[in-house]
Amino acid sequence: MLSTAPIVAFVPTRDSARAHDFYANTLGLRFLSDDGFALVFDANGTMLRVVRAGDFTPFPFTLLGWQVPDIAAAVADLTAKGVEFQRYDFLDQSPSGIWTAPGNAARVAWFPDPDGNTLSLSQHNPA
């Protein structure tokens, strides 16, 4: 039954004005509406609801990610817009913050949203 139903993604925020600016202007998602509970964005056909959550502790792992065709270009674009990519001591990352998975299966870079939620970019390579 759910195999044909669209996914709805949820991300919490403490500050909806700051989240709106980040998701619309920095990430370039199309803003659809504000229903009082959440800011609603179109993420390439997936509904993203940035939910007013009050105070919360962000998860210590990736909450939301985008698969991109050219991760180096996407990282450069977001860096130019002021996004700071996260560095992890336990990963061997490029100077721009991109980690290459074993076997070159994927390349991943992580960055926080204004609330500290961890978001990611990934480029997956065919086996």
Q: Express each pLDDT in 50-62 by its tens digit.
A: 999 999 999 999 9
One domain, residues 73 and 40? no
As for how many domains the chain has, the answer is: 2
- The answer to whether 119 and 72 have CB atoms below 8 angstroms apart is no
One domain, residues 70 and 126? yes
One domain, residues 49 and 80? no
Structure tokens at 91: 């990963």
Taking only the tens of pLDDT, the chain with its 127 residues reads 899 999 999 999 999 999 999 999 999 999 999 999 999 999 999 999 999 999 999 999 999 999 999 999 999 999 999 999 999 999 999 999 999 999 999 999 999 999 999 999 999 987 6
Which CATH number belongs to the domain containing residue 33 in this structure?
3.10.180.10
Structure tokens at 120: 């990611």
pTM: 0.94
One domain, residues 73 and 43? no
One domain, residues 68 and 126? yes
The span from the CA of 83 to the CA of 85, in Å, is 6
One domain, residues 50 and 68? no
Q: Express each pLDDT in 17-28 by its tens digit.
A: 999 999 999 999
Q: Containing domain of residue 103, as a range?
A: 62-127
Contacts of 99 (CB under 8 A, 6+ apart): 88, 91, 92, 93, 107, 108, 109
One domain, residues 84 and 110? yes
